Amino acid sequence: MTTTTAATAYTARPIAPEALAELRATDDAGRPVTPFTDEEGGAPLRCCLRRSTPGERIALVSYAPLRRRAAATGTDPGAYDEQGPVFVHADPCPGPDRDGGAPPFANAHRTVRRYSADGRILGGRLVGDLTPEAFARAFREAFDDPAVEFVHVRAVEYGCYLYEVARPVTRQVTAG
């Protein structure tokens, strides 16, 4: 007997390395990047999904996640094509520490914005409970809708893009 079950782990995806390489030269608004030394720390880095520490070299760049996704998938984001500011390391970094702990940047209210495969917004949900279980519940509710292909986690304060979570891969479990 074969039973199909959906994976229950939701993985935060940082900005892809190839996009980061481009963004570190020229951002998605066409501006040259101006790195700086972060004296205070605390900037939410989208390359490694952690906060910066004092003394790190970072850059604030304009990023268009739906435009980049559309280019890769051959879709058109239409009016949903937006770009906004994100912090990244000025130089390549090792990426996120995949320890499977709490979702990145879960220290404040966040929105989980739902998107179709062609990059159209299908709704969203405010996550005010800051526990990992609340985020998992918001992701599960989003992916319960078969039209939802991916979600963006965004900051409530400014609406900034934080990271993407893709629909979990369904795996086959054979019981017998």
Per-residue pLDDT tens for 57-67? 999 999 999 99
Mean per-residue pLDDT of the chain: 89
Whether 176 is in a domain gets the answer: no
In a domain, 30, yes or no: yes
Spatial CA neighbour of 136 closest among 160, 115, 165: 165
- Domain contains 131: yes
List, for residues 111-160, the tens digit of each pLDDT value.
999 999 999 999 999 999 988 899 999 999 999 999 999 999 999 988 88
Residue-wise pLDDT for 149-176, tens only, equals 999 999 998 888 999 999 987 655 555 5
Cα–Cα nearest to 104, from 29, 15, 21, 174: 15
pLDDT at 50: 94
The pLDDT, as a whole number, for residue 2 is 33
Q: Are 142 and 166 in contact (CB under 8 A)?
A: no
**Is 3 a residue whose pLDDT tops 60?**
no
Counting the structural domains of the chain, the total is 1
Collapsed DSSP state (helix, strand, coil) of residue 139: helix
- Domain with 111, as residue range(s), is 10-168
pTM exceeds cut of 0.95 = no
Closest among 65, 157, 67, 72 to 110, alpha carbons compared: 157
- Residue 112's CB: how many other CB atoms inside 10 A? 20
2 within a domain of the structure (yes/no): no
Distance, first Cα to last Cα, the chain: 6
User: Is 1 part of a structural domain of the chain?
Assistant: no
Burial of 18 (0-12, 13-18, 19+ CB in 10 A): exposed
Examine residue 3 and state whether it is found in any structural domain, yes or no: no
The answer to whether residue 174 sits within a structural domain is: no
In this structure, is residue 29 part of a structural domain? yes
pLDDT at 10: 87
